[in-house]
Amino acid sequence: MLSIIDLLDFMDLDRETVQIVNDATRVSDAEATEMARGLLRSERGIQLLHEMFRDQLAAATEQGQVGREQHLRKSYAYFCRKYPMPGLA
């Protein structure tokens, strides 16, 4: 049986992106993995993922969650390099 980590490695999907979807939608890891994978298939989906990252980064900043904010900044920087905002590249 494959684990979620095995699936992520196979799909070239990072854990942080799945966690962003999970936090934004409150679905299971398996559902968030499938949803993130689907979102990465279109420009609009990539835009939505950028919005999810920015929304959660703003929430962490507002709530004074310094550790989470720093982690999200690093994760979002990686995501931006891997999946630039469509139309801005």
Where are the chain's structural domains?
A: 4-82
Q: How many Å apart are CA 51 and CA 49, to the nearest integer?
A: 5
Task: Give residue 31's pLDDT.
Answer: 94
Q: What is the pLDDT along the chain (89 residues), one digit of tens a residue?
A: 555 555 544 456 889 999 999 999 999 999 999 999 999 999 999 999 999 999 999 999 999 999 999 999 999 999 999 999 987 65
Task: Give residue 8's pLDDT.
Answer: 47
Q: Which residues contact 64 (CB under 8 A, 6 or more apart)?
A: none
Task: Give residue 87's pLDDT.
Answer: 79
Q: How many CB atoms are closer than 10 A to CB 70?
A: 11
